[in-house]
Structure 1
Amino acid sequence: MRVLVVEDEPRLTLQLERALQAAGYAVDTAYDGERAEILGETEDYDAVVLDLGLPRVDGATVLRRWRAAGRAMPVLVLTARDSWSDKVAGLDAGADDYVTKPFNVEELLARLRALIRRAAGQADPRVQVGDVVLDPRASAVTKAGEPVALTAHEYRVLAYLMLHRGEVVSRSRLTEHVYAQDFDRDSNTLEVFVGRLRRKLGADLIETVRGLGYRVPPA
């Protein structure tokens, strides 16, 4: 799962980046509206944390341009503005939710999980397929009630496939959603991660659809 953080305060950006990475996300960052607009239009994100008070191009304008271009990723607006009119403006520009600074990181993570879950059509906070349960709140996976240790990349691969269970997910799409922009993306390594997941969670959990990609069964 991949998130874009758009914030012009370096210390806050670093705090968010570390918190999101600890929660299992691949994270890209942008410090101004121009860079954010480019990333949002050219990269695939599961969600965006977007500050409204950005240099060069303000966050609301960036968001309106994304929506006009058909970019539908969930957007959580992050702003120091506390007037109701600014909140309404952000929502009307296309935001899905907002958090006002100062904020609690755990609340932000919970709101982000909810946005990603709803975008995937998932109502339950946990995702279950057979006896495998993924709990994004704890970045944890269990099989038959027993915890399963996964690396960060294994977790992201599994989380994306389980949230989109029943769909055939191409290798290129999966690559876009499990690696940050500055990571050396090699789709061949996905086979390694999928192989490890099968050994840890069962060979039938992830199906290879020849020539198309991977699929986790719907239930």
Structure 2
Amino acid sequence: MKALVVEDNVNLANSIAATLSEAAFSIDVADDGRKALHMLEQGGYDLLVLDLGLPELDGISLLRTLRHQQNTIPVLIISARDSLDQRIHGLEVGADDYLCKPFSLEEVTARARALVRRAKHFGGETLQCGRLEFLPDAMELRLDGKPLLLHRRELEVMEYLLINQNRLVNKGANYRPTIYLR
């Protein structure tokens, strides 16, 4: 899974990027809206993590442009703009989720996974590869219909591999699967 983190605070951008990398995301970072728009136009992203207070092109304008271009990438807004009106506005413009600062990095990961899962599976379709099947909504892996007992991280790796089957995937520094498909 590939995500673009758009945040002008370098420390925060690096923290979000490191956390998502540990969760098997491949990460690119942009520090202004125009740069992000150019990167998104190149395609290939599964998720956009978007701050609203950006130089060059603010987050709301970037989001409007994406949706006007019919770009359906899942968007998670992370912003200090925490009033109810601002959150509603972000969602109405086209964000899929809205998280207010300060926030937990673990929550960013959970929300990111949920957004990508919804976009990839359209309601939790079962993923299959040979005799293996993965049920995303239940986070359950089965072999020949029988559940396999795996740790959460192992299930996440299997989900990632099944989503990306027939594609080359990169091994990140903290990405150590314990199950291999042959």
C-alpha change, 1:125 and 1:53, in structure 2 (3 Å) is: farther
Measured in 2, the distance between the counterparts of 1:201 and 1:142 equals: 13
Corresponding residue to 1:160 among 161, 164, 179: 164
Q: How does 1:1-219 map to 2 (within 5 A)?
A: 1-124=1-124, 127=127, 129=129, 130-131=131-132, 133=134, 145=148, 157-161=161-165, 174=167, 178=169, 200-202=180-182
What's 2:174 paired with? none
Aligned identity (percent) is 37
Q: Hey, what does 1:214 align to over in structure 2?
A: none
State the shift of 1:133 in Å.
4.3
TM-score (structure 2 length as normaliser) = 0.76
8 A contact 1:134–1:159 mirrored in 2: no
Q: Over aligned residue pairs, what C-alpha RMSD do you find?
A: 3.4
- CA offsets 1:112-142 (integer angstroms, 9 cap, x no match): 1111111123544985653354879x9xx88
Q: How many residue pairs are counted as aligned between the two chains?
A: 168
TM normalised by structure 1 equals: 0.64
Post-superposition CA distance 1:29-78 (Å, at most 9, x none) = 00001101111121221111000111111000001001111211100011
Letter in 2 for 1:73: I
Give 1:85 shift: 1.4
Secondary structure at the aligned position of 2:53 is classed as coil
SS at match of 2:28: strand
Amino acid at match of 1:79: S
Q: Which runs of 5+ in 1 are unaligned?
A: 162-168, 180-196, 203-219
Aligned residue for 2:77, secondary structure, equals: strand
- Secondary structure of 1:120's counterpart equals helix
Task: Return closer, same or farther for 1:36/1:200 CA change in 2, 3 Å cut-off.
Answer: same
Change (3 A) 1:31 1:100: same
Q: Distance in 2 between matches of 1:128 and 1:34?
A: 39
3-state secondary structure, aligned to 1:45:
coil
SS in 2 for 1:201: coil
For 1:33 and 1:69, the matched residues in 2 are separated by: 16
Q: Which amino acid aligns with 1:118?
A: R
Q: Flag structure 2 segments of 5+ consecutive residues without an equivalent.
A: 171-176
How far apart, CA to CA, are the structure 1 residues paired with 2:64 and 2:97?
A: 15
Give the deviation of 1:93 after TM superposition. 1.5
2-structure distance, mates of 1:157, 1:38: 28
